[in-house]
Chains A and B, each alone.
Chain A
Amino acid sequence: MGELRLMKGNEVIAEAAIRAGVDGYFGYPITPQSEVMETLMIRKPWEETGMVVLQAESEVASINMVYGGAACGKKVMTSSSSPGYSLMQEGLSYIAGAELPCVVVNVVRGGPGLGTIQPSQADYFQVTKGGGHGDYHVIALAPNSVQEMNDFVTLAFDLAFKYRTPVVILSDGAIGQMMEKVYLSDFVPRRTEEEIRKECGDWCTLGSKQHNYITSLELDSAIMEQRNLHLQKKYEDMQKEARYEEYMTEDAEYLFVAFGSASRICKKSIELAREKGIKVGLFRPITLYPFPSKQLYQLGTKMKGILSVEMNAGQMIEDVKLAVECKVPVEWAGRNGGIIPSPDEIVVALESKLIGGK
Chain B
Amino acid sequence: MADIDIKDIIKEENIVYKKSSILLDKVMHYCPGCSHGVTHKLIAEVIEEMGIQDQTIGVSPVGCSVFAYNYLNVDFQEAAHGRAPAVATAIKRLLPDKYVFTYQGDGDLASIGAAEILHACNRGEHIVCIFVNNAIYGMTGGQMAPTTLVGMKTATTPYGRDVDRNGYPMKITELIAQLPGTCYVTRQSVETAAAVRKTKKAIRKAFENQRDKKGTSFIEVVSTCNSGWKVDPVKANKWMEDHMFKFYPLGDLKDSTRDNPADYEQYIKD
- A interface with B by C-beta (< 8 Å): 23-24, 26, 52, 54, 56-58, 60-62, 64-69, 71-72, 74, 76, 90-91, 94, 98, 205-209, 211-217
A61 and B119 CA atoms in complex are apart in Å by: 10
Tally A-B pairs: CB < 8 A: 123
Shortest beta-carbon distance from B40 to chain A in Å: 14
Q: A52-B90, A68-B88 are in contact. List 13 more A-B contacts (CB 8 A).
A: A52-B94, A61-B115, A65-B90, A66-B90, A68-B94, A71-B77, A94-B80, A205-B76, A206-B98, A208-B54, A213-B76, A215-B76, A215-B78
- Closest A residue, CB atoms, query B67: A217
In the bound complex, CA of A90 to CA of B86 (Å): 14
* B54 cross-chain contacts in A, Cβ below 8 A: 207-209
Contact partner, A214, options B55, B76, B98, B115, Cβ 8 Å? B76
| Contact A209 to B78, CB < 8 A, known contacts A54-B89, A64-B87, A72-B94 | no
B83 interface neighbour in A52, A91, A215, Cβ under 8 Å = A91
Residue B259 lies at the interface, judged by CB distance under 8 Å to chain A = no
- Tell me which residues across on chain B come within 8 A of A68, comparing CB atoms: 59, 77, 79, 86-91, 94
Q: Cβ of B75 and Cβ of A213 under 8 Å apart?
A: yes
Flag if B77 contacts A205 (CB, 8 Å). Answer: yes
The answer on a CB contact under 8 Å between B93 and A24 is yes
A24-B94, A54-B93, A56-B86 given; A67·B66 CB < 8 A: no
Any A CB within 8 A of the CB of B116: yes
Q: Which residue of B lies closest to A205 (CB)?
A: B75
Closest to B55 in A: A207
Smallest CB gap from A204: residue in B: B75
A65 and B66: CB pair below 8 A? no
Closest residue of chain B to A209, judged by CB? B54
B73 contacts chain A at the CB level, 8 A cutoff = yes
A61 x B78 contact (CB < 8 A): no
Contact B116 A74 (CB under 8 A): no
Give the docked Cα–Cα distance between A314 and B83 (Å).
35
Question: Measured between C-beta atoms, what is the minimum distance from A320 to chain B in Å?
Answer: 35
User: Do B116 and A213 touch (CB < 8 A)?
Assistant: no
Question: In the complex, what distance in Å separates the CA atom of A207 from the CA atom of B91?
Answer: 10
Mask, B37-48, CB within 8 Å of A = 1, is 000000000000
Q: Is the CB of A65 within 8 A of B80?
A: no
Interface size on B, residues (CB 8 A): 33
CA of A11 to CA of B191, assembled, Å: 56
CA distance A207 to B98 in the complex (A): 7
Min Cβ gap B213→A in Å is: 16
Contacts of A90 in B (CB 8 A): 80
Docked-complex contact B76 and A74, CB < 8 angstroms: no
Q: In the complex, which of the residues B69, B95, B99, B115 contacts A213, with contact meaning CB atoms closer than 8 Å?
A: B69
Offer 23 A-B interface pairs, CB within 8 angstroms, sorted by A.
A23-B94, A54-B90, A57-B116, A57-B119, A60-B116, A65-B86, A66-B90, A68-B91, A69-B94, A72-B91, A72-B95, A90-B80, A91-B80, A205-B91, A206-B75, A207-B74, A207-B75, A207-B95, A208-B54, A213-B69, A213-B77, A214-B76, A215-B78
Would you give the shortest CB distance from A76 to chain B, in whole angstroms? 7
A217-B78 in contact (CB<8A): yes
Residue on B with the closest CB to A54?
A: B93
Q: Is B56 in contact with chain A by the CB < 8 A criterion?
A: yes
Q: Which residues of A contact B110 (CB under 8 A)?
A: none
B53 at interface by CB-CB < 8 Å: yes
Bound Cα distance from A56 to B93, whole angstroms: 12
> What's the Cα separation between A215 and B59 when bound, in Å?
10
Query: Would you call A214 and B119 a contact (CB within 8 A)?
Result: no
- A210 and chain B: residue at smallest CB distance: B75
User: Chain A contacts of B66 at CB under 8 A?
Assistant: 217
Contact B116 A214 (CB under 8 A): no
Q: How many angstroms between the C-alpha atoms of A211 and B69 in the bound complex?
A: 8
Asked if B149 lies at the interface with its beta carbon under 8 angstroms from chain A, I say no
Chain A nearest Cβ from B95, distance in angstroms: 6
Which residue in chain A gives the minimum CB-CB distance to B89? A65
B57 at the interface (CB under 8 A from A): yes
Instruction: Write out the residue numbers on chain B whose beta carbons fall within 8 Å of the beta carbon of A60.
Output: 83, 86, 115-116
Cα distance A69–B73 in the bound complex, in angstroms = 20
**Chain A: minimal CB distance from B103 (Å):** 13
Kindly list chain B residues whose C-beta atoms are within 8 Å of the C-beta of A213.
Answer: 69, 75-78
Chain A residues with CB under 8 Å of B69's CB are 213, 215
Residues of chain B within 8 A of A91, CB atoms compared: 80, 83
A67 proximity list for chain B (CB < 8 A): 77, 79-80, 83, 87, 90
Q: Which residue of A lies closest to B84 (CB)?
A: A64
* Contact (Cβ within 8 A) A24 B80: no
Q: Are B86 and A61 closer than 8 Å at their CB atoms? A: yes
